[in-house]
Amino acid sequence: MRVIFLNFDGCLHPCRLSYPAGTGGQAALLVPKASCGGTWFEWVPALNRLLAPYPDVCVVYSASRYRHTHREIANWLGALSTRYLGVTPAGPRYESIRSWLSEEGDVLSYRILDTAGGDLLRPSTHELIVCPPRTGVSAPAVQAELLEWLQPRGVLAPEQSSTRRRGSELLRSKSSLRLRKALS
């Protein structure tokens, strides 16, 4: 299976980055989308359309802190909720992603969707896809990077690959089991 680790703010709905003094020009705060226009999770349908032909791809919420239940997150993800496998452990984002990956042995490849990457300890550039905070996954450049990962050159189409079919079956069973546990 393949995994997309995503942050919501600036990836699935608009936000604005704040650059407080003393951060060396690094974005440190995400200003709520209310000040940016748009609606909460407005780009979920765009991401869902991109992922539709790839049933082996799941999503994991990765944030340095979170205050929401699995049920809330699954509801916000709408059509993507069937791909939702959970949340990374609390802590610095890249460390929590690495921890999640070390516990999950079935990940073939992953990408991280983030607005600035400032709180990530610089994963290799091919793993990080930076989303413009006002356009997120609706940005053509972000979609192009995702499609390049989803459709690597020389790889069979999803419907032709038995490995991807097995990954899809594994994803459905894991997703279903994890979501049932989280919601109970």
Q: Which single residue is written with the structure tokens 């999640």?
A: 100
What pLDDT band is residue 10 in, cutting at 50, 70 and 90? confident
What pLDDT band is residue 22 in, cutting at 50, 70 and 90? low
Q: Which domains does the chain have, with CATH numbers?
A: 2-12+39-183 (3.40.50)
Query: What DSSP character marks residue 72?
Result: H
Phi, psi of 63 (to 5 degrees): -145, 150
Q: Which residue has the higher pLDDT, 70 or 38?
A: 70
Longest dimension (CA), the chain: 53
pLDDT at 160: 44
Lowest mean pLDDT among 11-25, 42-56, 115-129: 11-25
Lowest mean pLDDT among 107-111, 123-127, 180-184: 180-184
Q: Which residue has the higher pLDDT, 63 or 98?
A: 98
Q: Is the dihedral of CA 118, 41, 80, 83 positive or negative?
A: positive
Phi, psi of 86 (to 5 degrees): 135, -155
